[in-house]
């Protein structure tokens, strides 16, 4: 009921000043603001002036012929300069209090409903000048402006209360109210109770505290970091935590918390159940993990098959130093068996054995690295060196297919940040693809160019260019997708894996040219200082 609204104390204080001033300016004992409270009329504010018989909060019954009653009924100003001489007024109840003159105006609520009156009374005859009437009217306008504001605010308040109530009742989100000092939950909606597995009876009888329902590992942060912020700023940024359910299990939630008003003793908490989201997150993590394991396993298989293709040429490469070892060993034995033994020649033969054996063993360990399924390292890699090693591993294959290799490796390249073996794996795939593509070219040169260059933006660019037939256009768009292959024995995983290796290094891999004279693949890798 808007017409039953309480006038707030600070407004009453202001109105008190107004009536005090009125009494003083008009030199009368009483200036009053009266409020209709059927069946009575109440003295809402009474001037603090000498000889004023009216006290605030006094009430008198209506229907007794009071001056103010008439003003309220007629909604018109009333001026009674001398009640004693006025037959209409000489019996009115205020005369008993000695008030024989009166000037009053009606005060209305914004919707026109009567609020009460503002009036001045005197113990003597008083004609109240026109200026005084205007002054009284101005004061009345001020009071009505205050009532206007009061009603608007109460409307907004009622609306926001209704909105909160709708939210509480809607049961979509858990809500509870709690005492900031004692942490006791004083009210909670069904959604919250359901979330934590309690019922209304628990809430009434147990004095449930949210602190007791919070697992100790979360409570520490709540008490140490959040509560002081809430007390200081009145609200908290949304955060995640857990509650104990009544059965002792835990429920993950997202919380929003606010205090009702500045210094308010109660807080309101909005609680969203995250159980499903957490499950979905865990599932996503698990499938991501599984995907990575599938990819790793595939990368391994791919590596092993690529290396399988290389075996022939690698064993050819190995044959050379191992054969040389054998030759030098027999030569060395011969020099030692000579009479007299030629120790200098024998020493030279053993030195050559030493060098060739080391070369063979280096080659073996590179091959083992490439076979291994080792986790990603991030260290400084000299990309040119890594390229040279791969080129030397593929030499047999390259020679066998009549391919000429050109290396245009930029000098003084900064080391790139990455895993040498993985980068070599990517290079190996690109080079083997290029060699394989060119092996179908019958006329024209078979040229493989590997180029490195420093990019301005702390990256190194590696380009692998061939003079093969290029990628069939219908495949170009899906080249990096798994199982895209044009080869009868291909897996179609090579480029997918190359790209994921390069991306894991923070770089990109693209097919940047694809024409009749060949395909150009290019990748970037950030440098160590990037
Ligand atoms: P796979 O070699 O097992 O087919 P990749 O993912 O390495 O798998 O390559 C996918 C396809 O891309 C190949 O089948 C081939 O059609 C094409 N391709 C890759 N590199 C080249 C290249 N240098 N020239 C022409 N086509 C290429």
Instruction: Round to whole Å and give the CA distance between 498 and 514.
Output: 18
pLDDT on residue 456: 82
- Distance, CA 498 to ligand 1 centroid (Å)? 11
The token pair that represents 204 in the structure block: 């009434």
Mean pLDDT score, 66-82? 94
Which run of H or E residues covers position 455?
strand 447-455
> Which residue do the tokens 């003003």 mark?
71
Mean pLDDT score, 291-312? 68
- Distance, CA 433 to ligand 1 centroid (Å)? 6
The answer on 144 and 6 residing in a single domain is: yes
Domain holding 452: CATH number? 3.30.565.10
The token pair that represents 187 in the structure block: 């009210």
**Is the CB of residue 434 below 6 angstroms from any atom belonging to ligand 1?**
yes
Which run of H or E residues covers position 326?
helix 275-337
The token pair that represents 313 in the structure block: 């040429």
Is 447 part of any domain? yes
Cβ distance 242 to 250 under 8 Å?
Answer: yes
The residue whose C-alpha atom lies closest to atom 13 belonging to ligand 1 is 485
- Distance, CA 451 to ligand 1 centroid (Å)? 20
> Which residue do the tokens 């390229």 mark?
387
Domain holding 190: CATH number? 3.30.450.20
Q: Spell out the residues 6+ positions from residue 114 whose beta carbon is closer than 8 angstroms to its own.
A: 36, 72, 75, 106, 107, 108
Instruction: Round to whole Å and give the CA distance between 367 and 194.
Output: 61
Q: Is residue 304 over pLDDT 80?
A: no
Instruction: Round to whole Å and give the CA distance between 430 and 464.
Output: 7
The answer on 134 and 23 residing in a single domain is: yes
Closest ligand 1 atom to the C-alpha of 518? 24
**Is the CB of residue 494 below 6 angstroms from any atom belonging to ligand 1?**
yes
Who has greater pLDDT, 138 or 323? 138
Closest ligand 1 atom to the C-alpha of 496? 6
Strand-strand pairing, 509-515 and 518-526: antiparallel
Who has greater pLDDT, 172 or 109? 109
Q: Is residue 160 over pLDDT 80?
A: no
Mean pLDDT score, 67-74? 93
Q: Is residue 440 over pLDDT 60?
A: yes
Cβ distance 109 to 7 under 8 Å?
Answer: no
**Nearest alpha carbon to residue 44 among 55, 29, 60, 30:** 55
**pLDDT-based confidence at 261, cuts 50/70/90?**
low
The token pair that represents 98 in the structure block: 């000695």
Mean pLDDT score, 431-440? 92
CA 472 remoteness from chain centre:
45
Distances (CA, A) of 275 to 196, 198, 229, 255: 12, 17, 27, 13
**Is the CB of residue 416 below 6 angstroms from any atom belonging to ligand 1?**
no
Domain-terminating residue out of 242, 277, 312: 277
Q: Is residue 262 over pLDDT 60?
A: no
Q: How many CA atoms lie within 13 A of 412 on its CB side?
A: 0
The answer on 207 and 86 residing in a single domain is: no
**Is the CB of residue 468 below 6 angstroms from any atom belonging to ligand 1?**
yes
Instruction: Round to whole Å and give the CA distance between 410 and 451.
Output: 8
Instruction: Round to whole Å and give the CA distance between 69 and 136.
Output: 18
> Which residue do the tokens 């997708």 mark?
481
pLDDT on residue 369: 74
**pLDDT-based confidence at 380, cuts 50/70/90?**
very high
Closest ligand 1 atom to the C-alpha of 492? 8
The answer on 146 and 45 residing in a single domain is: yes
Exposure of 87 by Cβ count < 10 A (0-12 exposed, 13-18 middle, 19+ buried)?
A: exposed
Domain-terminating residue out of 132, 158, 184: 158
In 3-state terms, what secondary structure has residue 443? coil
**pLDDT-based confidence at 310, cuts 50/70/90?**
low
**pLDDT-based confidence at 2, cuts 50/70/90?**
low
**Strongest mean pLDDT among 124-133, 186-195, 233-242, 336-345:** 124-133
Mean pLDDT of the chain: 87
The residue whose C-alpha atom lies closest to atom 8 belonging to ligand 1 is 492
pLDDT on residue 129: 94
**Strongest mean pLDDT among 23-32, 302-311, 477-486, 498-507:** 23-32
Domain encompassing residue 181: 171-277
Instruction: Round to whole Å and give the CA distance between 240 and 271.
Output: 10
Domain holding 16: CATH number? 3.30.450.40
- Distance, CA 473 to ligand 1 centroid (Å)? 12
pLDDT on residue 198: 93
**pLDDT-based confidence at 287, cuts 50/70/90?**
confident
Angle subtended by helix axes 383-393 and 420-438, to nearest 10: 50
Please provide the DSSP assignment of 471-492 as one string.
--HHHHTTTTSTT---STT--S
477 upstream amide cis, omega within 30 of 0? no
> Which residue do the tokens 């009374």 mark?
121
Cβ distance 103 to 136 under 8 Å?
Answer: yes
Pick from 17-21, 76-80, 211-215, 292-296: least confident? 292-296
Q: Spell out the residues 6+ positions from residue 497 whose beta carbon is closer than 8 angstroms to its own.
A: 295, 298, 299, 302, 425, 426, 429
The token pair that represents 132 in the structure block: 């005084």
Q: Is residue 311 over pLDDT 80?
A: no
The answer on 102 and 216 residing in a single domain is: no
The answer on 81 and 224 residing in a single domain is: no
Is 142 part of any domain? yes
Q: Is residue 313 over pLDDT 70?
A: no
**pLDDT-based confidence at 320, cuts 50/70/90?**
confident
Mean pLDDT score, 425-436? 92
In 3-state terms, what secondary structure has residue 119? strand
The answer on 195 and 154 residing in a single domain is: no
CB atoms within 10 A of CB 28: 26
Q: Is residue 229 over pLDDT 60?
A: yes
CB atoms within 10 A of CB 29: 20
- Distance, CA 371 to ligand 1 centroid (Å)? 21
The answer on 84 and 181 residing in a single domain is: no
> Each residue of 35-53: pLDDT tens digit?
998 888 999 999 999 999 9
Is 299 part of any domain? no
Burial 296-309 (b: 16+ CB within 10 A, else e): eebbeebbeebbee
Q: Is residue 56 over pLDDT 60?
A: yes
- Distance, CA 499 to ligand 1 centroid (Å)? 13
Domain-terminating residue out of 277, 301, 326: 277
The answer on 244 and 151 residing in a single domain is: no
Is 356 part of any domain? no
**Nearest alpha carbon to residue 415 among 357, 459, 373, 445:** 459
Pick from 105-114, 192-201, 319-328, 379-388: least confident? 319-328
Q: Which residues, in sequence order, are bridge partners of residue 377?
A: none
pLDDT on residue 143: 94
DSSP state at residue 456: T
**pLDDT-based confidence at 359, cuts 50/70/90?**
confident
Is 146 part of any domain? yes
Domain count, the chain: 3
pLDDT on residue 126: 94
- Distance, CA 464 to ligand 1 centroid (Å)? 13
Q: Is residue 254 over pLDDT 90?
A: no
Instruction: Round to whole Å and give the CA distance between 67 and 78.
Output: 8
Mean pLDDT score, 378-395? 91
- Distance, CA 429 to ligand 1 centroid (Å)? 9
Is 166 part of any domain? no
Q: Is residue 210 over pLDDT 80?
A: yes
**Is the CB of residue 269 below 6 angstroms from any atom belonging to ligand 1?**
no
Q: Is residue 349 over pLDDT 80?
A: yes
CB atoms within 10 A of CB 137: 12
Instruction: Round to whole Å and give the CA distance between 63 and 354.
Output: 128
The residue whose C-alpha atom lies closest to atom 1 belonging to ligand 1 is 492
């Amino acid at each position: 009921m808007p017409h039953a609204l309480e006038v707030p104390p600070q407004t009453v204080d202001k109105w008190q000043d107004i009536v005090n001033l009125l009494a003083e300016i008009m030199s009368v004992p009483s200036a009053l603001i009266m409020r209709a409270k059927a069946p009575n009329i109440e003295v809402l504010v009474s001037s603090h002036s000498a000889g004023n018989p009216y006290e605030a909060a006094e009430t008198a019954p209506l229907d007794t012929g009071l001056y103010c009653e008439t003003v309220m009924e007629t909604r018109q100003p009333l001026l009674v300069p001398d009640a004693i001489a006025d037959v209409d007024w000489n019996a009115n109840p205020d005369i008993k209090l000695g008030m024989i003159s009166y000037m009053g105006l009606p005060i209305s609520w914004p919707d026109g409903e009567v609020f009460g009156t503002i009036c001045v009374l005197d113990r003597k005859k008083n004609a109240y000048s026109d200026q005084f009437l205007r002054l009284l009217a101005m004061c009345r306008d001020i009071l009505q402006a205050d009532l206007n504001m009061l009603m608007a605010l109460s409307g907004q308040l009622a609306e926001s209360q209704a909105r909160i109530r709708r939210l509480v009742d809607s049961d979509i989100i858990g809500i509870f109210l709690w005492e900031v000092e004692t942490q006791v939950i004083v009210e909670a909606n069904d959604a919250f109770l359901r979330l934590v597995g309690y019922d209304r009876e628990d809430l009434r009888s147990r004095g449930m505290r949210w602190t007791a329902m919070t697992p100790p590992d979360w409570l520490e942060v709540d008490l140490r970091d959040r509560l002081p912020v809430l007390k200081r700023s009145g609200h908290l940024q949304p955060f995640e935590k857990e509650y104990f359910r009544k059965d002792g299990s835990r429920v993950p939630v997202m919380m929003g918390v606010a205090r009702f008003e500045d210094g308010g003793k109660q807080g309101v908490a909005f609680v969203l159940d995250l159980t499903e989201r957490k499950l979905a997150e865990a599932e996503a993590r698990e499938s991501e993990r599984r995907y990575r394991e599938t990819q790793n396993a595939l990368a391994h298989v791919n590596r092993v098959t690529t290396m399988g293709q290389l075996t022939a040429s690698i064993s050819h490469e190995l044959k050379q130093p191992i054969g040389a070892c054998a030759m030098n060993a027999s030569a060395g034995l011969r020099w030692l068996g000579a009479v007299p033994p030629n120790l200098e020649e024998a020493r030279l033969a053993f030195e050559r054995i030493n060098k060739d054996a080391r070369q063979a063993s280096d080659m073996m360990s590179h091959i083992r690295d490439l076979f291994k399924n080792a986790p990603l390292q991030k260290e400084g890699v000299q990309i040119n060196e890594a390229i040279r090693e791969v080129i030397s591993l593929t030499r047999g294959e390259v020679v066998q297919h009549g391919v000429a290799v050109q290396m245009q490796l930029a000098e003084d390249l900064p080391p790139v940040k990455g895993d040498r073996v993985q980068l070599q794996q990517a290079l190996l795939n690109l080079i083997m693809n290029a060699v394989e593509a060119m092996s179908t070219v019958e006329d024209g040169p078979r040229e493989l160019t590997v180029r490195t260059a420093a990019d301005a933006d702390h990256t190194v660019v590696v380009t692998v260019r061939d003079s093969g037939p290029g990628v069939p256009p219908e495949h170009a768009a899906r080249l990096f997708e798994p199982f895209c292959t044009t080869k009868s024995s291909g897996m179609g995983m090579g480029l997918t894996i190359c790209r994921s290796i390069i991306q894991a290094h923070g770089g990109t891999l693209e097919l940047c040219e694809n024409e009749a004279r060949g395909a150009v693949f290019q990748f970037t890798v950030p440098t160590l200082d990037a």
